[in-house]
Amino acid sequence: MTEHYDIAIVGAGIAGASLAAELADHARVVVLEAEDYPGYHTTGRSAAFWDECYGGPDIVPLTVASGPYLAEHGFLSPRGGLYMGRDEDAATLDAFIERFAPTGIDIRRLGRAELAALIPGLKPAWTGAIHEPASADIDVAAMHQHYLTLAKRAGVVLETSARLSAAEREGGRWRLATQRGLELTAGVLANAAGAWADHVARLAGAAPLGIAPMLRTVAQLRTAPAPPATLPLTLDINGSFYFKPESGRLWLSPHDETPSEACDAAPEELAVAEAIDRFEGVVDWRIEAVERRWAGLRSFAPDRLPVYGFDARREGLFWFAGQGGFGIQTAPAAARLAAQLILGEPRDAMTGELDRSLYSPGRFAA
């Protein structure tokens, strides 16, 4: 039997789940998830943090707009963040401050003494940093479940093991099929498929936008000393590593962005080794064991900004993709904005300061 919906969302990661929750009270919605359970890929593998600078100045409005919602629902834990450098990085640190000054976020320069007080065992080469006091950890699992629960309570249908296999536009509606034989129709097809976003677009007869999956590797280390619970999220100003404490262990990444096919991402041993080598140049801690390693895919549009809006040429296809590594920290505002675009509703207090045109897929139309 063919089921009929107003909106079909492809993907049940944080993007699809948050969008479904925002739409649920206004439309009949189905979410099609290719895997056996939601959040298997990027959402379930995130070392997520809420960092106002992460993603660049054009992402700041989405992050800032999302912060109150995340805090109100208890998904944020104070952490603080550092972007640090050596003597030769002084100009880069200054440029960073200047770049973000128009956004109004709270950041300031730290000298060697202040930096060393925050990171025990810091090696002498690291002499300065930018401190972002508002940076926080995100409880990704709780946040994802929150949106899935809101959607379910409002009547959203979640279909797992439902990889999209066909999408045809007929008479102003989409006729959709999945690999396990599910057939349905919908007025709007929302593409929240992450690394598979261009693949879904092709199935729907639309031109891909060049959304590229990038591999990101993370390892969990046991160190001596153990990282203090108060250790800030620490990033290299040049983007070669970041680390943060997690339940008495250290989560470390080489901040890699290795081009990848859309796949079940696996960590690369070389990337883990590079991360460890870089970390050993930062502090005098001893690494006792690599306890876990994993990888996820972060997907970027060519200009590294997210894509929210209806396709310029394919009727009824809505893009909600290309959210890079900032999709979780921006999910509340992004999903609210996307729902307003789909439903034709005006902006509200959360989205009122967002520039819709900045994220529109129309920017890629020739």
Within a domain: 171: yes
100 neighbors 213 (Cβ within 8 angstroms): no
Residues 6+ apart with CB under 8 A from 148: 12, 17, 20, 21, 38, 158
Enumerate the H helices of the chain as residue ranges: 14-23, 60-72, 90-100, 112-118, 140-153, 197-203, 269-280, 331-343
Query: From CA 66, how far away is CA 182, in angstroms rounded?
Result: 35
Residue 200 belongs to domain spanning: 3-44+140-210+304-364
| Count of domains forming the chain | 2
Average pLDDT on 231-257 reads 96
pLDDT at 236: 98
DSSP string for residues in 77-121: EE--EEEEEEGGGHHHHHHHHHHHGGGT---EEE-HHHHHHHSTT
pTM: 0.96
pLDDT at 42: 60
Choose the final residue of a domain: 300, 318, 344: 300
| pLDDT tens digit sequence for 97-147 | 999 999 999 999 999 999 999 999 999 999 999 999 999 999 999 999 999
Q: Report strand pairing: 76-78 vs 212-224.
A: unpaired
Q: 33 has which bridge partners? A: none
pLDDT at 41: 63
Q: Report strand pairing: 212-224 vs 249-253.
A: antiparallel
Choose the final residue of a domain: 300, 322, 342: 300
| pLDDT tens digit sequence for 276-312 | 999 999 999 999 999 999 999 999 999 999 999 999 9
Query: From CA 220, how far away is CA 42, in angstroms rounded?
Result: 17
Domain co-membership, 239 together with 161: no
Domain co-membership, 223 together with 278: yes
Q: Report strand pairing: 164-170 vs 249-253.
A: unpaired
Domain co-membership, 223 together with 353: no
pLDDT above 80 (res 366): no
| pLDDT tens digit sequence for 312-348 | 999 999 999 999 889 999 999 999 999 999 999 999 9
pLDDT at 39: 79
pLDDT at 40: 74
Domain co-membership, 164 together with 204: yes
The amino acid at 10: V
Residues 6+ apart with CB under 8 A from 76: 50, 67, 70, 136, 137, 138, 139
Mean pLDDT of the chain: 95
Domain co-membership, 145 together with 292: no
Looking up residue 246, the CATH number of its domain turns out to be 3.30.9.10
- What SS3 class is residue 309? strand
pLDDT at 43: 60
Domain co-membership, 251 together with 281: yes
Within a domain: 75: no
Q: What is the DSSP letter of 347?
A: P
Q: Quick one: pLDDT band at residue 44, thresholds 50, 70, 90?
A: low
| pLDDT tens digit sequence for 173-224 | 999 999 999 999 999 999 999 999 999 999 999 999 999 999 999 999 999 9
